[in-house]
Amino acid sequence: MPLAALLIVISIATASMGLLSTPNLIHAEETKSLFDRLGGKEPITAVVDEFVNRLVADSRVNGRFGSTDVKRFKMLNTELVCEATGGPCKYSGRDMKNTHAGMRISETEFNIVAGHLAATLKKFKVPKQESKELLAIIGSLKKDIVEAS
């Protein structure tokens, strides 16, 4: 086979392998749980740690956490995120509605808290897609947490 023809055959073969393998790779990423795409328990624990540190340092909301056991609060939020993203954990705390009932938490407060999570995800350079998915999960809890306007 002349060299030019051989090169054409090789390039067609390589291109078609690419066509076959690329969608499979993309598909594998898509079918991975959010928990796995976030990197698992360790980075999630680090994100929750920073997120809660920000909450207790923010005078707009830290009055709410005056008597909170911060270590336990971090542990429960880590479990919650781990389970909600498809990880192997079991959340051992109370459900969001009963936990926050009677606190009269406003939408403004909720947005401040969610904003700290968004800023934390940015700081940890969590990719846009994964950040978006986690913030959507947390956002879906709003109806059970916010009572006051």
| Integer Cα distance of 23 and 26 in angstroms | 5
* 110 touches ligand HEM by CB under 6 A: yes
Contact between 137 and 85 (Cβ < 8 Å): yes
Q: What is the Cα 108 distance to its own chain's centre?
A: 21
| Integer Cα distance of 135 and 117 in angstroms | 8
Q: How far is the CB of 26 from ligand HEM (least distance, A)?
A: 30
| Integer Cα distance of 89 and 75 in angstroms | 11
| Integer Cα distance of 22 and 15 in angstroms | 10
Handedness of CA 111, 113, 114, 118 (dihedral sign): positive
Stretch that binds ligand HEM, among 2-10, 17-25, 101-109, 118-126 (CB under 6 A): 101-109
Contact between 61 and 111 (Cβ < 8 Å): no
* 64 touches ligand HEM by CB under 6 A: yes
* 131 touches ligand HEM by CB under 6 A: no
* 76 touches ligand HEM by CB under 6 A: yes
* 134 touches ligand HEM by CB under 6 A: no
Give the residue, chosen from 94, 104, 122, 123, that forms a contact with ligand HEM under the rule CB under 6 A.
94
* 49 touches ligand HEM by CB under 6 A: no
Handedness of CA 63, 65, 66, 71 (dihedral sign): negative
Stretch that binds ligand HEM, among 2-10, 20-28, 42-50, 64-72 (CB under 6 A): 64-72
Stretch that binds ligand HEM, among 14-22, 33-41, 42-50, 74-82 (CB under 6 A): 74-82
**Residues near ligand HEM, by CB under 6 A:** 61, 64-65, 67-68, 73, 76-77, 80, 93-94, 99-100, 103, 105, 109-110, 113-114, 138, 141, 145
